[in-house]
Structure 1
């Protein structure tokens, strides 16, 4: 059964589900899984799970799920000491344990251990659902019964759990001070800190260690770093970064006491730091050498467009060919072949095709047939990853960086190109209209990858209804390169230290790859540069104008239509179609949309980028705007 079918089947039971990375328990692909990121609506679940292979997370809020383990401590032996459980929906785990599901009747019951080897998953918790796979083994439904009401004895037992302190989860005093960090490191490296051992309640041990580190006045973020550096290597086996991150997050969210309750710095005033000489960190104009600049330019991957360490966006409407163009660029780089008039320096390419993988693989076969095999200079990342702002996103960034380094080492290249296709899939669960979420993508995901590899990272994204890049303006502001794929044309809208404007026209040429067993052709497309029709010279198209200039033209046309013909003339008495600037401005503000500040900036930018046919001058004592008629189509 596919993951989407298994997820819909759970949703039809009324269970709220969300995607996990395939083969994992903790790599969550929905940052808001505890609230809106999990769904029991079959259509929403289809949208979340279609197009890929995932594990399934089941949100436990509103339920009580007994997680009975049989590794190390025998949870079944402990369960035999309690009253018998009613017949209910049950799942067998890959290790031979069980998940018993109960309806909590809307009660918010906290998570705790019922007994050694029996964990309780409830409010703000989750379990891995049937249809998932870990270590090559499946989670399978063992008892396909209805979910039973929570037994009264179990409800009373769980409600008797100790309540949190008044300041649970809050921070007391300053965190991550030098003395607190030294105290935490000393404890983590000592025999007093227990070690997590597989099959011996390793999760519980790690949870306890995380709580004790945070007790000393360490923030959850620093806690993870300290545990990875000073404790994790001694565990048997060591935790994967993303798994330990999930445990630390759980400890911070569910801890019973305030963070920093045993802070060794509490009650002490910080001493004044001694003054120290500042090392010079200045570069003077006379020290900047042209030879160094020329040498750096020689490292460009695509001259005038793509350089190591930069980041860019290629965007366009769905079905407009942007992914085909991105793959075409990637293959030209992998072959070291000039890209439509731009010189290319050969570099390896790591392509992260995060959606439509079957279609992408057909395109690779087609372009390989067209251009030849690039050898080890081109590779697709086979593992589905996320670059969302959660811990799984950090794990995804680390995975991409590690694979890019491996690819570079394989061909002996100093840097590579990484394509992330698409941003919507890479940041699933984040809000693409949120400046904070998209800043996290740029700074902590793409920025991390570039810092680790020195690569050029290209993000493939969608176009909004106004023809711009969809979502927050954070990414285009941070981009070194923006390529717009629109109506069979590739336009460089933003180029760091380079020339903007149209690059080339293209069309998608269908290619037949073969025939399936039913006799149906297997087809895809490759990018083909457009050429003039026979006997016809292709007229050069003008440089694509930015949105403010386009809106200015429309505003001028509207204002012109509202005034009498020939209302304003030049000194010779000839009508020139001049319109009062204030009238154009009113139409511009009405058309552009957005905040007043944004529209004012757009108005100014329209005149900064206006071509020569847009004129501004004073007529009859008024500031006028007109557009030369010879330039109208």
Structure 2
């Protein structure tokens, strides 16, 4: 079968396809060159894919040997893509998938073998199901859910030097149907919040009267202070706008408890809700969430004997301090009656024997998943810009810190996932200008990215009290990366050197644990500046609990447009230092940023020396963990520059990290202290 015959067969089945490079995977060039990158324009599968026979004949008449690309999202498909190991140490995703399919008794569906020995298992996405950005297991990837959905190259396409794609015997599209993604896999791929929402949508059959009753009850659970705050007053009205005249009556009645109440203003504002459609963004679910915040146990509702409910007037003092006193009990998230006793919370140490997923990195070697990290540097070191660059890389799935133009092939791989940005530093105008400039440099459409931000939220985030609302936002947007700029302004403490900072940092650690997201805090060094090259984070400003709480601390320094980033604390693997050059252009006004992005840059010589010292030190200590060793024998293990080795040995002896004794034939023998 020729490629054009195969392409037309896919179109006859109603599948959208597009041409890829002959003997390759990349979308085919379309002609012309991008003037900014110098690279040829290529097909965009989400936009150009077609099942029109005339268009397909035109494409393959122009490129007769083009491979066939099958985009996932336009076809409503999701593809399980287990990796076959390419090196002895690689994860065997194929074995994982085969074991999983047997364990779960999965139905057969259309499946193809790849030229490299991998597999594409093709399912339909069930109606009403929104798959989260996650993989099934280590090495078992999922295509069709991240960003633009991705695509696969399909039979009978060939890869240069590797062979052809082939349908599994008995599992070709001519032999069996593509089946919907089994429920057992849906449950593994959909985040709990999305799964609950999907099930609720299918099962619930509430009437308008039910919604009105529930809204009335939730209004009575709200703290009175909400009626006095203008923005909250607006949002409560918006949440009720879907209830029509009944919602208006409820809102006006609720607003009466404020000393600022003016019925005419309420009615005028209500009309604006209907005209601007803003109620679509704030719903009755928002009202329920606020009610649960203010009254978790529902105790503010009681019957007044007339069949209606009224409000208990034992609400918190509106003038209470925003920061808890040092001896205040912890603000636990779960009501006491639902928490397990401490004796039931202990776990057996044998859990450590169960194989666990290797911690992935959202940005290779820079940003671990499920971690609390801190990025700090003096004002003007571009630390915020660097985090914007990394956030856009993660949200778009494009590599971070590529080499300088025109060679943009290299860079640090990322895991594409939704991103949240919390700003209490730059302000919306500056932030939007930077987002737009970095977005243009990345060549991405910001409208298509799973990236949301908030500037100076109201009420302010107060980590020392709790991070409930931030955690709710992380869950709502399924975010896996959250940037907070900056720490002090969300900590909720009067002094960052206060022991109360420990309460704020504990809240961030808890948020990471409960949501599974990586949270990066932007912070500053001490005013005295950087004391020495490797100070273990001693130059981080504020209470010692800040550094103690984080999994990773990265320090940013700047020399003109080149920044250097080094790690001052790491709970796991210590990232190597790296450098980046900040490049930017302005729009014709000479002021507004047009494009901006960081590119990989060589490390300064003094920092390379520091890296070499760190590695040499670690190698010496690792070698001495097994037994005392003579100097010459130790050098044969460590290797490297002899001068550096001798200097490092001397430094370790002087610091009493290792001890030196006389061995046979007056040799020097070293032992860990």
TM-score by length of 2: 0.38
Higher-RCO chain (CA-CA 8 Å, sequence separation at least 6): 1
TM-score by length of 1: 0.41
